[in-house]
Structure 1
């Protein structure tokens, strides 16, 4: 017995969408980085259709925290129970439930319940956890409501794509070019300014000014770097006007004649900005093309520069 007291929070929101639609967003946690503002990255480790094990990264205040979450999905009752493991101090335990209740007229009530303990039950640590939940939970519920209420257009609002460049070089110099983002202003012409913080190795906080066809755009990103996998995943926390959310990955993969460097993007469009940015006659189809071309152009240019760098430092093979 540890003696720590269990603290509980409850947050709810009315959603003008069918309960099945809302539950679908809750159950698909792998897409949460694109849907929920505090979630940075999710990797599904195990899933048998009911029991699920996830590795999750999310912001809590100004920090990026990671944990393992086990979940039990029950589509019949539209509940998802979760238990977080391997938590970072001061939180000792964190459990909860997502509950979707059907309402008359085709609407829903979405509730997020948490119960948690902190090491030693210190009042300041309890207050910190309650503040984090008090910020993140309403923000998550609000995002889910906004998306669920646009469910008939959801497929038009979301797009995912990738571009790839073959490189005649080992993985290491290619990954090194993509990892050393602080060097990009002098290596990549479309990056004019960049600020980098890496207080925790492999967790990068980046603010960047990028030259685009629309002019100078300032973005901010959280990047998680996995050198042994040749992989960098990121989420933009400050996005261009047309994007409500933007996540992506840089992957350096072994190929038959060297490596394949791949840039992946997933975007949630900001529907209300389409006509303001692209003109009064613009629609979602035009916005999708515009974003695809703009992101693809810059990320492909970065991959070609990574190729040139890697092939120059390793020489002919």
Structure 2
């Protein structure tokens, strides 16, 4: 059977920012989950000079897909080339390039090229891939433009923090408590309801109703990627009004004294427009960060304490 030629598509956007600034965001894949709507989680597996191997989890046409890619970063050419090593159906192969052109000192043309094939050249598979590439490329380019034009890449609007507890119990029990989020409504006082799907083992999609201090309930949606017994990472895909992005992590590590250290980490991007609507027009970025830190920290610490009690009760009978 003769393999058909790869389909090729091109998407572009003009960004009012220096090319080096734009290149930095494209090159740093670890920032993509916070900035780019489709990306759930990204890990750099290897790095040798300008070449790296990465693994991504991302939404494609509403489905969570994961793949491993190799990328070659060339700052002198303002280019990042990529090629999937391991793809997921219906994709047979995919690659492409981020290509930047400095139109002036403060304006950059960003072009995102893709080439792809579908398994068995299936027409339905080709339609699915084209739709996913179109949606994700446009979402990424639009967000890239907004990130550098509106908030300088998001650094001033970003908030990172963590909370930890010490646990005298088994890592498996702590992990089980955190992974079995479907039972959180009966275990955690701030969780009013939770719907969880795990169509692919280790990839969870959940919708949660969280009780606020004033008694109101707000709904968020998240995608979680689980690494059994030691780590769960997540991204909120439907956020509270004051946030433009929110990623997090539950991390379980063994201490030198034999106890466990269980940590909740958050990285948040403040939505200044949403914060003004939710908290008042005169709310500053620092005030919004303080409110978010308090609310998320309180719920995280509550979850950590209940996970500790669950694991220690099981450890001590």
Q: For residues 201-227 of structure 1, what are the alpha-carbon distances to aligned partners after superposition, in whole Å with 9 as ceiling and x for unaligned?
A: 111110000012363111000011111
Map residues 31-180 of structure 1 onto 2, 5 A cutoff: 31-104=31-104, 106-152=106-152, 154-180=154-180
Structure 1 stretches of 4+ with a deviation exceeding 6 A read none
Tell me how far 1:48 sits from its aligned partner: 2.4
Tell me how far 1:276 sits from its aligned partner: 1.6
Paired position in structure 1 for 2:289: 288
Q: For residues 178-203 of structure 1, what are the alpha-carbon distances to aligned partners after superposition, in whole Å with 9 as ceiling and x for unaligned?
A: 01000000000000011111111111
SS in structure 2 at match of 1:156: coil
Tell me how far 1:5 sits from its aligned partner: 2.0
Q: For residues 24-49 of structure 1, what are the alpha-carbon distances to aligned partners after superposition, in whole Å with 9 as ceiling and x for unaligned?
A: 10000011000111111011111123
Paired position in structure 1 for 2:213: 213
Paired position in structure 2 for 1:222: 223
Q: Is the 8 A contact 2:94 2:116 kept in 1?
A: yes
SS in structure 1 at match of 2:64: strand
Tell me, in whole angstroms, the C-alpha distance in 2 between the residues paired with 1:210 and 1:236: 13
Please list every run of 5 or more consecutive structure 2 residues that lacks an aligned counterpart in the other structure. Answer: none
For this pair of structures, how many residues does the alignment match? Answer: 315
Map residues 296-307 of structure 1 onto 2, 5 A cutoff: 296-307=297-308
Q: For residues 220-278 of structure 1, what are the alpha-carbon distances to aligned partners after superposition, in whole Å with 9 as ceiling and x for unaligned?
A: 000111114x1111111101001111111111111124111100111111121222211
Q: For residues 273-312 of structure 1, what are the alpha-carbon distances to aligned partners after superposition, in whole Å with 9 as ceiling and x for unaligned?
A: 2222111221101111111111111001100000011111
RMSD: 1.4
Paired position in structure 1 for 2:13: 13
Map residues 189-268 of structure 1 onto 2, 5 A cutoff: 189-213=189-213, 215-228=216-229, 230-255=230-255, 256-268=257-269
Tell me, in whole angstroms, the C-alpha distance in 1 between the residues paired with 2:18 and 2:231: 38
Q: Is the 8 A contact 1:4 1:120 kept in 2?
A: no
Tell me how far 1:150 sits from its aligned partner: 2.9
Tell me the TM-score normalized by structure 1: 0.96
Tell me the TM-score normalized by structure 2: 0.96
SS in structure 2 at match of 1:25: helix
